[in-house]
Amino acid sequence: MSEQKKAAALISGGLDSMLAAKVVMEQGVHVEGINFFTGFCVEGHTHAIRSKDKAKPKRNNSLWVAEQLGIKLHIIDIIEEYKQVLLNPRHGYGAHMNPCLDCKIFMVDKARQWIAENGFDFIITGEVIGQRPMSQRRQTMPIVARESGAGDLLLRPLCALNLPETLPERQGWVKRDLLHDFSGRSRKPQMALAEKYGFDDYAQPAGGCCFLTDEHYSVKLVDLWKARGKRDYDLDDVMLLKVGRHIRPNPDFKLIIAREEGENRFLQGYRKQFISMEAVSHRGPLTLIDGSPSSEDLNLAARITARYGQGRDAQQVEVKVLDKDQERLLKVKPLSVDEIPEAWHV
């Protein structure tokens, strides 16, 4: 009896990777999932932070997919290594700061290393030719296989019939005629296959699963690099760009103002790392100050903070400023809406 072959499936939590894994499992291959966490994944974070989202049941879609498929899932933290992909993408960016092609190459390369370390035979992805404008085109498919080093160990079950045979097909580990020929942006073939497998509940991310494909997020990231004079970031930066109202009155500092109670609680956790301020004479949001503000800047920041609290129409608001363990009180007149130029909003 021949040994059961083993494949690692890149599981994003979306339908395509779920189907790709299922197609190969149906052929008797042992499949386990890998999910990479870059820090920019939309999955989870904003739900955890914002109070208004808490009414909705929250689930991690990659875990959910793995459970539906009955496979193990290995979630791998690639936050640090991913910096090189985002900061120096060989193939450039998409519409925003999304280095989709380099990202895919990087993840397949990581999967290649993982299968070598764990005794697996090949890699599965849910890629479909023509599905995404940057990373899933006919021209990019061989680039991903080649530059990741995976070569013909990389099987794309949903569009394999449109591509040259891979090692798993040539070796008979999977039957080529049971694979698919999906192409283009239509979701109908995937939906039909999902129905065949009885998958009636699956995530349909609009605009992808990565914050880097989001215009507003990308603008904030570029602003951060510009203000610091260098292209670098850490996980706290990544998280804080997802939270609050960002207002930059000048290049030296930026305010991050909580928009609701959940964000307020989340920002509390950063008070030791940043100067923070909040109104004490009236209810209002917590604000973090990122950068190196002068005392004049802090006064301006307090006036802006006061504008977003219940004292917005008051003649004077008392704002407590906390800088490390030093606490002081500023008495300020809140700025009016007209005094906060649109250009300050990042």
Partner 1 sequence: MNKEFLDARRLLCPLPVIRVQDKVKQLNAGDRLRVVATDPGVMQDIPAWCRINGHRVLQTEEKHGEFFIVLEVGVQ
**Residues 304, 247 contacting (CB under 8 angstroms):** yes
Cβ atoms of 129 and 162 closer than 8 Å: yes
Which is it for strands 326-332 and 317-323: parallel, antiparallel or unpaired? antiparallel
Q: Which stretch binds partner 1 (CB under 8 A): 55-63, 142-150, 163-171, 325-333?
A: 55-63
Q: How far is the CB of 266 from partner 1 (least distance, A)?
A: 9
Within 10 Å of residue 320's Cβ, how many Cβ atoms? 16
Binding segment (CB under 8 A) for partner 1, from list 54-62, 87-95, 98-106, 116-124: 54-62
Nearer to partner 1, 251 or 269 (CB): 269
Helical H segments across the chain, by residue range: 15-25, 45-49, 61-69, 79-87, 100-118, 140-148, 167-170, 188-197, 215-228, 235-240, 261-268, 295-307
- Burial (CB < 10 A; 0-12, 13-18, 19+), residue 63, is middle
For partner 1, the binding residues in 233-262 under the rule CB under 8 A are 239
Q: How far is the CB of 332 from partner 1 (least distance, A)?
A: 31
Considering only residues 56 through 85, tell me which ones interact with partner 1, judged by CB under 8 A.
57-60, 62-64, 66-67, 70-77
Q: Are 136 and 19 in contact (CB under 8 A)?
A: no
* Smallest gap from residue 241 Cβ to partner 1 (A): 13
Q: How far is the CB of 282 from partner 1 (least distance, A)?
A: 25
Q: Which residue, 63 or 280, has its beta carbon nearer to partner 1?
A: 63
111 binds partner 1 (CB under 8 A): no
Binds partner 1 by CB under 8 A, chosen from 37, 114, 225, 344: 37
User: Site residues for partner 1, window 177-206 (CB under 8 A)?
Assistant: none
Please state, in angstroms and rounded to a whole number, the distance separating the CA atoms of residues 287 and 258. Answer: 6
Tally the residues of the chain: 346
CB 31 within 8 A of CB 118: no
- To partner 1, the closest distance from the beta carbon of 49 in angstroms equals 7
Q: Does 345 bind partner 1 (CB under 8 A)?
A: no
End-to-end CA distance of the chain: 62
Strands 245-250 and 253-257: antiparallel
Please pick, from the candidates 6, 45, 83, 312, the single residue that binds partner 1 as defined by CB under 8 A: 45
Q: Does 91 bind partner 1 (CB under 8 A)?
A: no
Residue 328 binding partner 1, by CB under 8 A: no
Dihedral angle sign, alpha carbons of residues 303, 308, 312, 317: negative
The least CB distance from residue 251 to partner 1, in Å, is 29
Residues at the site binding partner 1, with contacts judged by CB under 8 A:
35, 37, 41, 43-45, 47-49, 54, 57-60, 62-64, 66-67, 70-77, 239, 269
